Amino acid sequence: MNTTAQILQNNIQKILDIWMQNQLADASLRDDLISNEELRRQSEELLSGLARATASGNVENIYAPEYEPVTEILSDISITRARQGFSPRETGMYVLSLKQAISQVLEEQLSDKPETLYKELLKLNLLLDNLSVITFETFIKGREEVILRQTDEISEISTPVIRVWEGILALPIIGTLDSARTQVVMENLLQEIVNTGSSIAILDISGVPAVDSLVAQHLIKTVSATRLMGAECIISGIRAEIAQTIVHLGIDLSNIKTKASLANALQLAFSMRNVEVRKINKNTGISLTR
């Protein structure tokens, strides 16, 4: 067992106290996100894990099996913190303030042996730096998980299929159409065609910022799949600049029914279903005759 490990083990309570003091004194401590008891429990767990790991004599390789409990606790803490909305600074300071606490105790214990102190401090620095790298890695992983979950949620909610009239479905597409989203759009649309027995689907692309050949290809595929189900597809919301771009790109949409606005598409759908919309003289309501 080396000096640091010994000092760590003998002074675990003292280090914990100093560490807690440091953490609690820090102005950036989020006591609204984590209670002091919880913080103390987490810190104690990590510190005793660290003391056990260093007791094995290994203070360099944090990927060795004896460090597994330490890295596990640390990853756990930083992932939870990422989800709870801690800032990277707060999460980073957690491990770095431990370094400060241990250094302080080492300094007290080894004040008569400056050479040993220097060497031990170097080792300690290296060890805790490695641990803080782990904290960052997992913190970012935790954040990325949040982002991925949100991406999934957005693609789920952003493709509603609306039943506008008997036999007519509308699907407003907002945002960029990529392969994954097209899949969701197509699935939702085809399922809804089955469920409602609709014969006309209107794909509204007013909310799609750019139509390049990939987006066009996805649209064409969706239209073909709808046709296979025996329904007709109208694409609406083609803005003037998009129309020009499609022509220059050389995309052939001539065998697909397209309209400038959703209103026009709806009108076409009504006429295809032999439905007429007209004004009644007496009141201002709309009457529909078949």
Which residues of the chain form contacts with another protein (CB under 8 A)? 176, 178, 209-214, 216-217, 240-242, 244-245, 248-251
Distance CA 27, CA 29 (A): 6
Closest CA to 123 of 44, 43, 48, 62: 62
User: Which of residues 24 and 214 has its CB atom nearest to another protein in the complex?
Assistant: 214
User: Which of residues 248 and 282 has its CB atom nearest to another protein in the complex?
Assistant: 248
Report the nearest approach of another protein to the CB of residue 224 (Å).
13
User: Which of residues 48 and 245 has its CB atom nearest to another protein in the complex?
Assistant: 245
Backbone φ and ψ of 30, nearest 5°: -95, 80
Report the nearest approach of another protein to the CB of residue 156 (Å).
18
Sign of CA pseudo-dihedral 227, 161, 203, 200: positive
Distance CA 129, CA 133 (A): 6
User: Which of residues 107 and 212 has its CB atom nearest to another protein in the complex?
Assistant: 212
Bridge partner residues of 277 (DSSP) = 288
Closest CA to 211 of 170, 189, 169, 240: 240
Distance CA 232, CA 77 (A): 54
Distance CA 238, CA 273 (A): 23
Report the nearest approach of another protein to the CB of residue 206 (Å).
14
Report the nearest approach of another protein to the CB of residue 246 (Å).
9
Residue with tokens 């600049």: 241
User: Which of residues 56 and 176 has its CB atom nearest to another protein in the complex?
Assistant: 176
Report the nearest approach of another protein to the CB of residue 212 (Å).
4
